[in-house]
Amino acid sequence: MKQNMLIRLVIDLSMTTLMLVAMAYQITGNTIHELVGVVLILLFITHNVLNRRWYKTIFKGKYNVRRILSITVNFLFLISMAAVMLSSVPISRDILAFIPINNDMILLQIHVMTSYWGFIFMAVHIGLSWGTIINAVRKMTGITSTNRFRTIVLRVLVVVIVVYGVQASFEREMFYKLTVYNPFGWYNDKSSIGFLLDHLSIMGIYISGTHYALKFVRKQDRGMAYKDR
């Protein structure tokens, strides 16, 4: 595996992990939340610097479904993370507590809602690159051949994750977290394992959904190309 690809994978994995830690506010407390947020911002900036060539190619070449979706999701992810970063500065209670602000409720609402939107866009973003990630993992582990039993097991696992993720989405009222802010919170987390399983499974919905939707689109495109011959 190329060193640049490995660095990108490590950064992306670190960002995903830190995003989950940052969202576990009721478990970690405010100080850890803010420290993790600072590191997450630095990694996000690094991620965009390493992938800066992508911005130069936006207006070049042909546009297909995957590319349009990729550009849209990446910009929405960028906007949501920018909103999270900008809103975090005036509402900081520890790292930047010296910044005076009288009414932080609106900024807090923006910060929470955009962080959950960023969480969703991050999962879709990962789903768009899931094929590349899988191929990189295969090269690292030396898995080159396909295995029907392994494929069936993995697909069953995906179904289990999605079903659990849908249940977790309802229990944690994800719809309201994306649309309405409740200052008293919806879910009193007592178990870090429960929080991790719930949010990883919710991510699994969007990662697998995006990945398999793209596979379906590619299959349709290949079928249309074959008929045109």
Tens of pLDDT, residue by residue over 36-54, are 999 998 998 998 888 888 8
pLDDT interval class at 201 (50, 70, 90): very high
Show the DSSP H helices in the chain as ranges. Answer: 3-23, 25-28, 30-50, 52-56, 65-91, 105-128, 130-141, 148-171, 174-179, 192-227
Which long-range contacts does 26-34 make (Cβ < 8 Å, 24+ apart)? 26/185, 26/187, 26/188, 26/189, 27/189, 27/192, 27/195, 30/93, 30/94, 31/94, 34/88, 34/92, 34/93, 34/94, 34/95
Reduce the DSSP state of residue 143 to 3 states and report it. Answer: coil
In this predicted structure, the answer to whether residue 123 has a pLDDT above a threshold of 90 is yes
Residue of 147 and 121 predicted with greater confidence = 121
Residue of 184 and 43 predicted with greater confidence = 43
Distance CA 43, CA 63 (A): 29
In a domain, 132, yes or no: yes
In a domain, 144, yes or no: yes
Task: Confirm if 82 and 41 have CB atoms less than 8 A apart.
Answer: no
- DSSP H helix total and E strand total for the chain: 10, 0
In this predicted structure, the answer to whether residue 98 has a pLDDT above a threshold of 80 is no
The whole-model pTM stands at: 0.84
pLDDT interval class at 187 (50, 70, 90): low
Structural domain harbouring 190:
3-51+67-227
Among residues 114, 123, 118, 119, the alpha carbon closest in space to that of 91 is found at: 114
Range 3-29 average pLDDT: 86
In this predicted structure, the answer to whether residue 57 has a pLDDT above a threshold of 50 is yes
pLDDT for the residue numbered 183: 47
In a domain, 154, yes or no: yes
Range 74-90 average pLDDT: 91
* 130, 53, 84, 125: CA torsion to nearest 10: -10
In a domain, 61, yes or no: no
Phi and psi of 79, rounded to 5°?
-65, -45
Task: Confirm if 113 and 177 have CB atoms less than 8 A apart.
Answer: yes
Give residue 118's identity as a one-letter amino acid code: G
Report DSSP state, residue 98: T
The domain tally of the chain equals 1
Distance CA 197, CA 203 (A): 10
Report DSSP state, residue 127: H
Among the ranges given (52-61, 133-142, 147-156, 182-191), the one the predictor scored with the smallest mean pLDDT: 182-191
In a domain, 203, yes or no: yes
Distance CA 8, CA 16 (A): 12
Task: Confirm if 206 and 124 have CB atoms less than 8 A apart.
Answer: yes
In this predicted structure, the answer to whether residue 102 has a pLDDT above a threshold of 90 is no
In a domain, 104, yes or no: yes
In a domain, 19, yes or no: yes
- In the block, tokens 């094929």 appear at 131
Give residue 224's identity as a one-letter amino acid code: M
In a domain, 191, yes or no: yes
As a whole number of Å, the CA-based R_g of the chain is 20
Measured CA distances, 70 to 79, 128, 198 (Å): 14, 7, 26
In this predicted structure, the answer to whether residue 186 has a pLDDT above a threshold of 60 is no
